[in-house]
Structure 1
């Protein structure tokens, strides 16, 4: 039996623009039967989504997306599925990551202000009780203030959040090994998110890229990686097939996700 699934969705508890309930309603309208809420570095939206899922007859898997990097500062996102959202060790780490993200955001706002874009932390509050601020939220603030006409413009090469000054602002990240270990200890399954978006391993789609990606997958499997997000909206069919081949070679689960952040982003950025 096959289900229509989307295992990569973001709510306004991280950098999405929709509530968990509205995300579940959208999934129902689109005919999905199995979804996962995978907010960045947090699990606050999962209880609401679970309740909405039960009401609408959609299975909601508790998930998370953790930003990581290795010793060579290669950034990777690790998805965790079927996690215990009350796991103490996971919650302690999420609290630490929240503070690191706040420090990064303060620096980004300062950079944008120096570039002539008058944005304050108050401009980034879109929902009551919002505690997470990611780059797509900053993009929406730039749109709201009239500095751009489309949220995606904030991520154009060399401009705004992709300017050299903004890109120089780094957030301390945990290692891929630590992320996978945290997910495992919380009873979950770790999956490599959107592999084709990984930087610093060669030009996307080249032989070098796939060779370096395979090395990363080998290393992460040794840490406990259980799957690869082979199907993603930012990939071509050919790229997805190459990822399926890697997943099969290393006996890893094959997952699919839209990485949906809201209607403002056709190709959302993490």
Structure 2
């Protein structure tokens, strides 16, 4: 059985439309699939129809943008098997609005620095609730400023520390986010702990029994962190997940959908936890 639990579509910052994603999943022999777009579950109903069409089991999911204010770092939290969509959506709409405001300001800053076709940016972002950096970069590639999504120009504009146009939206605190996931009846899984150097927070959250699982098999997790993640999973009786974090041509690394997956025993453990 092949289980892919982390991928994105054009509803957030992915380059692949929903139906194409299911086509790719079918071609890749994927049996279980979670669509985890950033801060939106608006694609769930469409995904459910497509899952039936392509004979793939859909796992409800979303990747929530949060913040650890104790050390001033972003954190991504995956939520699976949510039950209360209305409650979760109210929370996500707050994040979406903050993202929209920040994205508009970033786009304005880019337009002051580089002549850019804003209608083209909007066209790339038409399925999403806001403009993402990838939509801006696609436009700059089209206009001949660069031929790379994540090359020197991306760094110049959007590097988190030195980027001339980078701005961080106001994200909810990680503890508030975990409480919302719990209230919505979902399972809380910390995404790619290596990416934002979140191992210290991970130790804290697992010790407080606030997580159901940890994303272990991910292209950007460091080997030394993966070893400790496996130990924490065992110590606290959690489940470990795997996902490719697929963004299509917007991916920062070249991996096909289904390259990083969740082993059957961990998926069964996750399912059992969701049914409690």
The alignment's TM-score, normalised by the length of structure 2, stands at 0.82
* Alignment check: 8 A CA contact 2:6 2:242 kept: yes
Deviates more, 1:19-28 or 1:141-150: 141-150
- 1:111 Cα deviation (Å)? 2.0
* Alignment check: 8 A CA contact 1:109 1:119 kept: no
Distance 2:137 2:131 in 1: 11
Runs of 4+ aligned structure 1 residues displaced above 6 Å come to none
- Given the alignment of the two structures, is residue 74 of structure 1 paired with residue 73 of structure 2, yes or no? yes
What are the Cα deviations for residues 167-217 of structure 1, in whole angstroms up to 9, with x where unaligned? 3x2200001112112222222101000111014x6xxxxxxxxxxx14443
- 1:247 Cα deviation (Å)? 2.0
Distance 2:125 2:106 in 1: 21
Deviates more, 1:190-199 or 1:93-102: 93-102
* Alignment check: 8 A CA contact 2:103 2:130 kept: no
1:110 aligned residue: 108
Distance 2:18 2:81 in 1: 17
Deviates more, 1:148-157 or 1:54-63: 148-157
What are the Cα deviations for residues 38-70 of structure 1, in whole angstroms up to 9, with x where unaligned? 000101112111111112211111111111112
2:220 aligned residue: 234
* Alignment check: 8 A CA contact 1:112 1:119 kept: no
- 1:122 Cα deviation (Å)? 4.9
Q: Please give the residue correspondences for 1:92-131 in structure 2 after superposition, counting only pairs within 5 Å.
A: 92-120=90-118, 122-126=120-124, 128-131=126-129
- 1:82 Cα deviation (Å)? 1.0
Q: 1:87 aligns with which of 75, 85, 88?
A: 85
How many residues were matched structurally? 251
1:252 aligned residue: 238
2:211 aligned residue: 225
